[in-house]
Amino acid sequence: MDEGRYREWLDLWTDDAQYWVPCNDDDIDPAKQVSIIYDDRDRLTQRVERLLSGSVLSQQPRPRMRRVVSNIEIGPASGAEVTVESNFVLGVARNGTKHVWIGRSIHQLREDGGTLKIARKKVLLIDNDQEIPLLQFLI
Amino acid sequence: MIDVGNLIQGTRIHGSLYRDPEVFERELNEIWYKVWVYVGHESEIPNRGDFVRRMIGRQPVIVVRGADGTVRAFFNRCRHRGNMVCHADRGNTAAFTCPYHGWTYSTAGALQQPTFEDGYDSKLRREDFGLVPLPRLDAYRGLIFASVSPEGITLDEHLGGAKEFIDLFMDLSPAGRVSLTAGNQKVRYAGNWKFMPENSMEGDYHGPFIHKVAFELHSKKTGFDVSSLYENEIPDVIRSLPGGHMVEDYRGATIAPPKRPPSAARIAYADAMKRAYGEEKAGKLLGTMAPLIYIFPNLMYLMTHIRVIAPVSVNETFVYYQPMLLDGVPDEINEERLRMHEFMFGAAGFISPDDIEIMERIQTAVNAGGNEWLFIGRGAHRDTVLPDGGSTGYTMDENHIRGFWQHYSGVMNAGA
């Protein structure tokens, strides 16, 4: 994600993928409330295609970014799935400014053809109820 | 003192209008603290005691539905020592209590209790210390506007010809009612607030350039092709209304219909529209795209949402995208609208972030000074001036941006 390896990242997802960044609060009903990101596999693929097209202006040039993932908690496995929660701090540097994104990720991982894939990822930004700058990369 | 008239010369705009702190201060006094400013929608505060916290320029404001059901707006400031009495973004309350010294106000703004009242002499009259209401408040179709100035034209006069266009997007609901209850995407950008209306209302000209890939992705997925909009430029799409309002009216344009058959929810929606408005009007409302509109200075309707502009400083702006849900339609229709909205708008959408990136780049360029003039001359030779003083232009023309600046110039120089 930090190195722009978008296609490889897309391959990590199951076909019924759900990539979700809620807006205004961590627990909302996406059928009735707007999200910052609420991607199914098709929308996720579009997101990656758009990034790869080179047409995303705020990614020209691509910002330098690095994230630290910590406080990893692995939940009990249920069938082929397991929930993994973690915290992240992501620094994004561009045009002489740095912005720090902070949040908690909840991954629902599923065994799929001998490997673990991401079935769901929910990202709880600490500032999802505040005025945020553009989020045009993978969080 | 700056003569704004010298900085706005028909088809050219001076860069200092986007970077000069003195211009921004004048805008606060002559625009934000004088004219009608949009502060919220009635669906956000449906119940007695519901409130939202908003800003008008630098003024923190509370919009609240009182215990008597009446909507009021107050300066969000305790009459004792000036602390904000409301710090929550939204909520429901029986009263506003200042946390500093405990002064408590009713939802109608009346001071109920200055604490330790026996320490004040008998001259302290509670009725002199109620929350200060915004001098003027009015609403049109649920859209609430307030003015910091006690004087000026009525809201009806301010909206003028814009009302007809507000009706068109409100009537996308068979009940004629919309709800702004689906949350609020909040975005900040390092640029002047005026870039937002200028950019948002000329999408046909910049669309084929900065939104090309998003349009293609959308078209591939849905079959809905917008390229006909700019490939067949036609008259009367772009409209400038008196009052600085801007419109993009696509009702006369040919837009290729989606290739997919309509869903059961779409059919039910179309039926509800026919029942509400009759076959002909329903066909027109659903068969064309509702005109996009900007209401001077801070309100927009664009396809999926109500957008609100809040200036922070001369080079920083907050923008709020509130998806507009339609009352009286199947849930699937509103869910589709939300997913469509997320595709295009907000910090992680595929359309508006490219606009915002451009605004930040223009800000960097105009900050430098020198080579000052920006050009807004497209279509100036073929403006059709209307009897109301507005004008129309072709699909990619800039007559509405010229109208915006002409109005801005008049308002800014009114107090000079």
Query: Are B395 and B226 contacting, i.e. CB atoms less than 8 angstroms apart?
Result: no
Residue A32 forms part of a structural domain: yes
The predicted structure's pLDDT at residue B226: 75
- Which residues in chain A are closer than 8 Å to B350, comparing Cβ atoms? 46-47, 50
Q: Please work out, in degrees rounded to the nearest 5, the angle formed at the alpha carbon of residue B286 by the alpha carbons of B281 and B289.
A: 110
Q: Which of B187, B354, B358 sits opposite A131 (nearest CB)?
A: B187
Residues B183, A34: C-beta atoms closer than 8 Å: yes
Specify the amino acid at residue A42.
D
- Sign of the Cα torsion B215, B216, B220, B223 reads positive
How, if at all, do strands A115-125 and A13-22 pair? parallel
Q: State the pLDDT confidence band at B287, using cuts at 50, 70 and 90.
A: confident
- Which residues in chain A are closer than 8 Å to B217, comparing Cβ atoms? 46, 49-50
Greatest Cα pair distance in chain A = 48
Angstrom distance (rounded) from CA A129 to CA B53: 14
Q: Chain B closest CA to A28's CA: distance in Å? A: 9
Mean pLDDT score across all residues of chain A = 96
The predicted structure's pLDDT at residue B292: 97
Q: Which of A34, A53, A135 sits opposite B213 (nearest CB)?
A: A53
Q: State the pLDDT confidence band at B1, using cuts at 50, 70 and 90.
A: confident
Q: Which of B214, B221, B356 sits opposite A50 (nearest CB)?
A: B214
Angstrom distance (rounded) from CA B268 to CA B259: 19
Query: How many Cβ pairs closer than 8 A exist between chain A and B?
Result: 102
Q: Chain A closest CA to B171's CA: distance in Å? A: 20
Which residue from B minimizes the CA distance to A129? B186
Residue B389 Rama label (left phi>0; alpha psi -120 to 50; beta): left
Residues A132, B186: C-beta atoms closer than 8 Å: yes
- Which residues in chain B are closer than 8 Å to A135, comparing Cβ atoms? 347-348, 353
The predicted structure's pLDDT at residue B416: 59
Angstrom distance (rounded) from CA B205 to CA B208: 7
Angstrom distance (rounded) from CA B178 to CA B40: 13
Alpha helices, DSSP H, located in B288-383: 331-344, 352-367
Of B104, B126, B38, B110, the residue nearest B70 (C-alpha): B110
Residues B342, A36: C-beta atoms closer than 8 Å: yes
Which tens digits make up the pLDDT trace of B21-79? 999 999 999 999 999 999 999 999 999 999 999 999 999 999 999 999 999 999 999 99
Which residue from A minimizes the CA distance to B343? A43
Which of A131, A136, A137 is the best residue to mutate to test the B interface, defined by the most B CB atoms within 10 Å of its own CB? A131
Specify the amino acid at residue A111.
E
Q: State the pLDDT confidence band at B255, using cuts at 50, 70 and 90.
A: low
Which residue from B minimizes the CA distance to A54? B213
Residue A16 forms part of a structural domain: yes
Which tens digits make up the pLDDT trace of B166-191? 999 999 999 999 999 999 999 999 99
Q: Which of A35, A129, A134 sits opposite B353 (nearest CB)?
A: A134
Edge-to-edge strand list for the sheet holding B111-113: B95-97, B104-106, B111-113
Q: Which of A23, A42, A133 sits opposite B183 (nearest CB)?
A: A23
Q: State the pLDDT confidence band at B230, using cuts at 50, 70 and 90.
A: confident
Query: Tokens standing for B39?
Result: 């502060």
Enumerate chain B positions whose Cβ falls within 8 A of a Cβ in A: 89, 181-189, 210, 212-214, 217, 221, 318, 321, 323, 331, 334-335, 338-339, 341-343, 346-348, 350, 353-354, 356-358, 361
Q: Chain A closest CA to B135's CA: distance in Å? A: 28
The predicted structure's pLDDT at residue B257: 67
Residue A115 forms part of a structural domain: yes
φ and ψ of A105, to 5 deg: -110, 140
Q: Chain A closest CA to B300's CA: distance in Å? A: 18
- What is the share, in percent, of chain A residues with pLDDT greater than 70? 100
The predicted structure's pLDDT at residue B254: 63
Instruction: Provide the strand spans (E) within B197-315.
Output: 238-241, 245-248, 292-295, 299-302, 305-313
As beta bridge partners, residue B393 has: B238
Which residue from A minimizes the CA distance to B214? A50
Which tens digits make up the pLDDT trace of A79-88? 999 999 999 9
Angstrom distance (rounded) from CA B131 to CA B127: 10
- Which residues in chain B are closer than 8 Å to A131, comparing Cβ atoms? 186-188, 318
What residue segments make up the domains of chain B, in order of their start?
37-141, 161-413
Mean pLDDT score across all residues of chain B = 95
Find the radius of gyration of the CA atoms of chain B: 23
Which of A6, A18, A23, A139 is the best residue to mutate to test the B interface, defined by the most B CB atoms within 10 Å of its own CB? A23
Find the radius of gyration of the CA atoms of chain A: 15
CATH number, domain with residue A100: 3.10.450.50
- CATH classification for the domain delimited by B161-413, as one of 3.90.380.10, 3.30.1520.10, 3.30.70.20, 3.40.50.300: 3.90.380.10
Query: Are B19 and B192 contacting, i.e. CB atoms less than 8 angstroms apart?
Result: yes
Which residue from B minimizes the CA distance to A29? B182
Which tens digits make up the pLDDT trace of B322-351? 999 999 999 999 999 999 999 999 999 999
Q: Is residue B250 over pLDDT 90? A: no
- Which residues in chain A are closer than 8 Å to B342, comparing Cβ atoms? 34-38
Q: Which of A31, A33, A136 sits opposite B353 (nearest CB)?
A: A136
Read out DSSP for A44-104? HHHHHHHHHTT--GGGSSPPEEEEEEEEEEEPPPBTTEEEEEEEEEEEEEETTEEEEEEEE
Q: Is residue A36 over pLDDT 70? A: yes
Which residue from A minimizes the CA distance to B322? A34
Q: Is residue A59 over pLDDT 80? A: yes
Q: State the pLDDT confidence band at A95, using cuts at 50, 70 and 90.
A: confident
Q: State the pLDDT confidence band at A131, using cuts at 50, 70 and 90.
A: very high
The predicted structure's pLDDT at residue B167: 98
Read out DSSP for B97-145? E-TTT--EEETT--EEE-SSGGGS-TT--GGGGSPPBPSEEEEETTEEE
Q: State the pLDDT confidence band at A113, using cuts at 50, 70 and 90.
A: confident
* Residue A110 structural domain: 6-125
Residues B187, A56: C-beta atoms closer than 8 Å: no
What's domain B37-141's superfamily in CATH?
Answer: Rieske [2Fe-2S] iron-sulphur domain (2.102.10.10)
Residue A136 forms part of a structural domain: no
Residues B221, A57: C-beta atoms closer than 8 Å: no
Per-residue DSSP letter, A43: H
The predicted structure's pLDDT at residue B256: 63
- What is the share, in percent, of chain B residues with pLDDT greater than 70? 98
Burial B148-170 (b: 16+ CB within 10 A, else e): beeebeebeebbbbbeebbebbb
Q: Is residue B415 over pLDDT 90? A: no
Residue A85 forms part of a structural domain: yes
- Which residues in chain A are closer than 8 Å to B212, comparing Cβ atoms? 55
Q: What are the C-alpha distances in Å from B146 to residues B73, B151, B317, B409? A: 7, 12, 20, 22
Total domain count, chain A: 1
The predicted structure's pLDDT at residue B90: 97
- Which residues in chain A are closer than 8 Å to B331, comparing Cβ atoms? 31
Of B133 and B2, which is predicted with more confidence?
B133
Q: Please work out, in degrees rounded to the nearest 5, the angle formed at the alpha carbon of residue B155 by the alpha carbons of B152 and B157.
A: 80
Q: Which of B183, B184, B356 sits opposite A134 (nearest CB)?
A: B356
Residue A109 forms part of a structural domain: yes
Query: Are B71 and B65 contacting, i.e. CB atoms less than 8 angstroms apart?
Result: yes
Read out DSSP for B201-235? T-HHHHHHHHTHHHHHHHHHHH--B-HHHHHS--T
